[in-house]
Structure 1
Amino acid sequence: MTWTDKRRQNVYWTVGGNYQRRYQGEGDGFDAAESGMIDRAFPKNRLANFLAKNTENVSNGKDMNAVARILALQYTKADLYEERPGIKAMAKDAYKARYRALDFLNKRDMAQEIEMQYAAYRMGKPMSAGTFLEPLMRKLIAGDKIKNEGEFYDYLARLWREHFHVNPTLTFEVEKKIEDKETPPPPDQPEPKKKRRQIVETKAEKIEDKDTEIIESAEFSGVIRDTSKVVESDASITRTRADSEARTLNRVRKHYGKECLSPAKTKKIESAIATGMHQGMRLHVTKGNFEQDMGARFFEDQILAQRQETEAIYEKDRHIYERSIFELREIIRKNLLDDSSQEAVRAANGAVDTGLLWRHVILGDDRIFKKNSFEQENSFAVDILVDMSGSQQDRQAEVAIQGFLIAEALTQLRIPTRVMGFCNLFNYQIIRIFRDYKDDSKENREIFSYKASGSNRDGFALRYVFNTMEEIESDTKVLIVLSDGMPNDLLSIGLDTAKGSVVDYEGEDAVYDTAAEVLQGKLKQRAVLGVFTGEDKELDQERLIFGTDFVRIKDLERFSVVVGKYLKSVVERLQ
């Protein structure tokens, strides 16, 4: 398996849970997973700051850093293995490769020797550390018994003092960890208003509650269960799977909100679309309403913080965006609606119809004029589908604003418009409904709650949209997809194999599947337009998926003209 920078970054994000940070290493997915777990255990760069404070100005700083990393690996490996069974299966081979690379060196410094001895331990090979390093290695391996972050720093400081020459004036203190417990208000006082941004920053430091710390992605996910217990009967297997499924659904709710469809309707849609390479996938359709739970509030506050950031960017250039909305609205009205939605009717004023003069003379009917009347029931319905995967992290505000501009232009023309975001968590396809066809236009601003996380199974999301398009009656149905042309959903690493087999969704297979679903939509007489939000190197994949029916917006000031032109062309092909 070849690990590109993007795939390593996705693994790091998934395990670490913080999409604001970047993976700095050059290793494989296993290394990215280890680094993500360490950074999650020491949020806000606390470990990095602690190391910088104490090792930058000493000659043996490299060796001290090596000790710190190995101790951190021991401290976090149990949690990593518990959450990611697939990672545990990769460990032996990963450490065997590290051992061979270090053993091949003709000359090793102390840091490399420490790392090689640790690799030998992790691959089950006896260590040969010698009398000098053997006591240090024993103490490092005992790091898996450390109970919390504060104890970690104390233990590390003690190791440094015992085995290295360090400046006695160096400080081994770490900034006091912010408590994550909330103090409830007295019973006779109302609950104080929360400062949303502060909640986001404070709770990000939480370590003990895994559900609030992980922003999961099916790209590198697993259903959590205790694999050390042997299940002996069909009844216990069924019970274990049901418990695992319930835990998974609970975490999905915490991350994205409660489901808005009934279980019966969800099952019906799943049975229709979860076939082929999507067999075993589940649906979670939500409007972003969260449970009253600390873990859920953490993710709700993250979404709110991103919404505030997006709204601030929009307000800064509101005049530009409002002009784009007006221009796009007029382009759609003139090119797509005038011919189909206006008809000549008799009226008491307007242009005289000479063929109706007799009615005035004989019947006294004043309605002898013709004028155009806009039909109340529009013949168009539009769906806007937005990729919400973690690869959109760097352009969240831009993507949300593009979706908003299109939705505003359409709804001002009273065109039924639905806006949805999609991403994946575990074996769940998340569909976030920002606005439905008949919602009030004020719901358009819900698009600003767009937040990127997880992975993306584009073909399955398209199946959902085409399936549910039937709920709205219109002559012409249009789908506009905002994506980066990078469908990617890895499930094999970390997925509980006893739960079922959902195949990985990556590479050419994922691109061709997405392209096939776009083609199926077009064969059903659906107009499909892609709005490309990715990078230059991904253009070929976008072109393969949408053919010539996609547009790339580099300048938002020309957004309306470009989108309007391409939207007109894809619709005209159906007429």
Structure 2
Amino acid sequence: MHKDLTEELSIEDYKMELENRIRNLLWTVSGDFLLDVKPDVSLFLRSKEIALYDGIKQGAFARYFDKNLLGLYLVKKIYLDASETELTGLTQLCIEAAVGDRICEERPGVRRMRKKALEDILDQEYENLPFYDKLLDRLKIAVFRDVLTGSVQPLEKKLSAFRDQIYACAESRDTMELIWIIDSLYNAVIDPDFEKKNGSLERVMAVTLEELTEFGWEDYLNEEMYEEALENYVEKLTDRMTDIEDSSLTQDMEEKRKVKNKITVISEEALQKAHTYVELNFGKTYLTPAEEKRMNHLMCRGIHGDCSLYFTEGILKNPVRDNYQYQYAKRLRNKNIWIYHDKHRIAKRNIAILTELLKKALVIRSENQEVLSDRGTIVPSRLWRIGRSCEANLFKRILRGDNTDFVVDILIDASGSQMSRQGDVALQAYMISSALSNVDIPHRVMSYCTFWDHTILHRFREYDDPVSADEDIFNYVTSSNNRDGLAIKAAGYSLLQREEEKKILIILSDGRPYDVIINRPNAKNPAPYQGKYAISDTATEVRRLRSQGVSVLGVFAGEEKDLPAEKKIFGKDFAYIRDIGNFSKIVGRYLTKQLEADN
């Protein structure tokens, strides 16, 4: 652990150093020290060279071209029904061609960094998902390989002609020339009918700001941009123009034109790609195909009928390969461990208090009793009964207390909304698990999040695992959405299969169930899983488990404004931890009440 802590501290220092380096590179290359700099330090998790080269290219582009003019063109083109993802992807490739060689000639030291950045992108993006059937991706691969080999490689005639147009960007004298090439390529490569349907470049540039302001941007923006003002959208779009990496490996799988009321209809082929992504980024499943099919058949019904369950022990335990997500998960584990060390005194005190509370509650159950028996240790004073009594009971036995009447499940919300609290949530789960381990109560710990139609249940420890398994909770990583009702239903099903008489489920969540619906073709689209609809479904699953004898406690790990939703879901049995120092007392009170009630 101490080694991991040292690594985490060095990572934080490294990130700060990297941000400064990117900022300085961008200013130096652009020659404009007043330039608004936005270093993407998150890229360093993928590759140092990608992050640094991204900063260099931002500076070079700002030096040679007008990014605001190009950004405005993109917005206008999208307004006329161009695909945002493909237009920005093509623009990024053209900008790479326009400034890549120029900056390498001026600064030869950049050449090695550029090659390594492009090499890392090819390795990370195009080894992961089968995107080779897309013309734009094939062009991107061809351009990158030319840079890496140092010469123009043979290519089929049609693709070669498009690549030549991209390379013509290097000769662009101003931004409008670059825009003309991008527009012409889009109409040829992405949408050959665009000009016929929506007009030429002249029509695109003639779109007024008034038209843009009045336009319904919700049809085009992703979830993060939803309901943002036009100027913010333009700013975000221009920030993405120079990116050569795919900021989200799932964007090409999303068919944005089919989005309506946040319900997305996708093909079976795309669903298969989603499953590949899940396996690569969340780790292999520990279920057999038959077991997985059975669980999905049992659990994914009703409003969850178009969903899937995916059971894994995480990418750190069962990776497909050592990819970006694997390295990212390692760094987040280090961060969680660092938070534990930072608060280790509070954590140890909470674990000790909670352990003591549980021991007291179990004292009667765990008390040893001495009874007479027909086997055990002989009692000399009772030997006279031999031949005189049919119930001699010449021996004594010790009946040891049995704690196995209790079993606990801990379920942790691992959606993206928990990212800012990730370390603290992991710490809370770890404290409960450690205390339960100390008193030998069997318990399981899992987290849940939802990506596309997959609700991922990440198992950190199984019921009867040794104490050492508690540390696997620090593998907790947050991402994507959360379909709380389905996750609780699945966890509850496994819990109900246990033989213990008293079953307890502890759920650490933020009271905000939310999932973008993903539907297979010809499926009946239910309402979006959010707001009252999602809260009602989650509360129903909690009540259903309680009616089957499971005690359910909600531990609130969210923002105060979401407390009313948490109360609707869990009723009176929920705990709001304002101060982590009081964690053991609040959770301990609930657990001891359950243990004593059974007694």
TM over 0.5: yes
How much has 1:324 moved relative to structure 2? Answer: 1.3
How much has 1:43 moved relative to structure 2? Answer: 7.1
Alpha-carbon distance in structure 1 between the residues aligned to 2:125 and 2:535: 37
Q: Within 5 A, what are the aligned runs for 1:517-556? A: 517-556=541-580
**Residue 116 of structure 2 is aligned with which of 165, 179, 188?**
179
Alpha-carbon distance in structure 2 between the residues aligned to 1:258 and 1:538: 34
**Residue 147 of structure 1 is aligned with which of 69, 93, 100?**
93
1:450 equivalenced with 2:387 (yes/no): no
1:373 equivalenced with 2:397 (yes/no): no
How much has 1:206 moved relative to structure 2? Answer: 5.7
2:232 maps to none
Alpha-carbon distance in structure 1 between the residues aligned to 2:337 and 2:121: 23
1:69 maps to 71
Amino acid at match of 1:374: G
How much has 1:53 moved relative to structure 2? Answer: 7.9
Q: 1:44 to 1:503 in 2, by over 3 A?
A: farther
Alpha-carbon distance in structure 2 between the residues aligned to 1:566 and 1:142: 53
Q: Within 5 A, what are the aligned runs for 1:132-531? A: 144=90, 147=93, 150-151=96-97, 153=99, 176-177=113-114, 179=116, 211=129, 243-289=269-315, 293=320, 297-335=323-361, 337-342=362-367, 344-346=369-371, 359=382, 373-375=400-402, 378-491=404-517, 497=521, 501=525, 503-531=527-555
How much has 1:245 moved relative to structure 2? Answer: 3.7
Q: 1:254 to 1:152 in 2, by over 3 A?
A: farther
Alpha-carbon distance in structure 1 between the residues aligned to 2:101 and 2:89: 8
How much has 1:486 moved relative to structure 2? Answer: 0.5
**Equivalent pairs: percent with the same residue?**
26
Q: 1:285 to 1:152 in 2, by over 3 A?
A: farther
1:557 maps to 581
Alpha-carbon distance in structure 1 between the residues aligned to 2:275 and 2:363: 47
Alpha-carbon distance in structure 1 between the residues aligned to 2:125 and 2:323: 16
Q: 1:262 to 1:347 in 2, by over 3 A?
A: same
How much has 1:436 moved relative to structure 2? Answer: 0.3
1:180-227 per-residue CA deviation (whole Å, 9 max, x = no partner) reads 588xxxxxxxxxxxxxxxxxxx7799666675956689xxx8956899
- Greater relative CO (CA pairs within 8 A, separation 6+): 1
Which moved further from structure 2: 301-310 or 207-216? Answer: 207-216
Q: 1:415 to 1:119 in 2, by over 3 A?
A: closer
Q: 1:203 to 1:303 in 2, by over 3 A?
A: farther
Amino acid at match of 2:491: V
Alpha-carbon distance in structure 2 between the residues aligned to 1:448 and 1:483: 17
Q: Contact 2:351 / 2:584 at 8 angstroms: preserved in 1?
A: yes
How much has 1:333 moved relative to structure 2? Answer: 1.6
Amino acid at match of 1:534: G
- Give the match's secondary structure for 2:506: strand
Q: Is there any run of 5+ residues in structure 2 with no aligned partner, and where?
A: 1-18, 20-37, 130-244, 259-265, 374-378, 387-391
Q: Contact 2:516 / 2:529 at 8 angstroms: preserved in 1?
A: yes
Q: Contact 2:513 / 2:534 at 8 angstroms: preserved in 1?
A: yes
How much has 1:472 moved relative to structure 2? Answer: 2.2
How much has 1:530 moved relative to structure 2? Answer: 0.8
Alpha-carbon distance in structure 2 between the residues aligned to 1:539 and 1:408: 27
Q: Contact 1:417 / 1:438 at 8 angstroms: preserved in 2?
A: yes
How much has 1:249 moved relative to structure 2? Answer: 1.3
Alpha-carbon distance in structure 2 between the residues aligned to 1:226 and 1:399: 33
Q: 1:412 to 1:123 in 2, by over 3 A?
A: closer
Alpha-carbon distance in structure 1 between the residues aligned to 2:381 and 2:319: 71
How much has 1:522 moved relative to structure 2? Answer: 0.6
- Give the match's secondary structure for 1:384: strand
How much has 1:319 moved relative to structure 2? Answer: 3.0
How much has 1:445 moved relative to structure 2? Answer: 0.6
Alpha-carbon distance in structure 2 between the residues aligned to 1:312 and 1:574: 38
Tell me the TM-score normalized by structure 1: 0.62
Q: 1:120 to 1:275 in 2, by over 3 A?
A: closer
RMSD: 4.5
- Give the match's secondary structure for 2:400: strand
How much has 1:374 moved relative to structure 2? Answer: 2.6
Alpha-carbon distance in structure 2 between the residues aligned to 1:142 and 1:293: 30
1:457-480 per-residue CA deviation (whole Å, 9 max, x = no partner) reads 000001101111133210100000
Q: Contact 1:329 / 1:410 at 8 angstroms: preserved in 2?
A: yes
Amino acid at match of 1:388: A
How much has 1:498 moved relative to structure 2? Answer: 5.1
Amino acid at match of 1:529: L
Alpha-carbon distance in structure 2 between the residues aligned to 1:311 and 1:502: 40
Alpha-carbon distance in structure 2 between the residues aligned to 1:48 and 1:476: 57
Number of residue pairs matched by the alignment: 418
Alpha-carbon distance in structure 2 between the residues aligned to 1:571 and 1:244: 48
Alpha-carbon distance in structure 1 between the residues aligned to 2:447 and 2:432: 14
- Give the match's secondary structure for 1:485: coil
Q: Contact 1:340 / 1:379 at 8 angstroms: preserved in 2?
A: no
Alpha-carbon distance in structure 2 between the residues aligned to 1:70 and 1:571: 64
2:215 maps to none
Q: Contact 2:412 / 2:508 at 8 angstroms: preserved in 1?
A: yes
Alpha-carbon distance in structure 2 between the residues aligned to 1:253 and 1:392: 22
- Give the match's secondary structure for 2:369: strand
Q: Contact 1:281 / 1:502 at 8 angstroms: preserved in 2?
A: no
How much has 1:265 moved relative to structure 2? Answer: 1.7
How much has 1:484 moved relative to structure 2? Answer: 0.4
Alpha-carbon distance in structure 2 between the residues aligned to 1:561 and 1:451: 27
Alpha-carbon distance in structure 2 between the residues aligned to 1:216 and 1:358: 79
1:128 maps to none
Amino acid at match of 1:179: K
Q: Within 5 A, what are the aligned runs for 1:83-162? A: 118=77, 121-122=80-81, 144=90, 147=93, 150-151=96-97, 153=99
- Give the match's secondary structure for 1:374: coil
- Give the match's secondary structure for 2:479: coil
- Give the match's secondary structure for 1:565: helix
Q: Contact 2:555 / 2:576 at 8 angstroms: preserved in 1?
A: yes
Alpha-carbon distance in structure 1 between the residues aligned to 2:50 and 2:444: 38
How much has 1:506 moved relative to structure 2? Answer: 0.6
Alpha-carbon distance in structure 2 between the residues aligned to 1:433 and 1:143: 37
How much has 1:293 moved relative to structure 2? Answer: 5.0
How much has 1:248 moved relative to structure 2? Answer: 2.1
Q: Contact 2:50 / 2:117 at 8 angstroms: preserved in 1?
A: no
Q: 1:148 to 1:399 in 2, by over 3 A?
A: farther
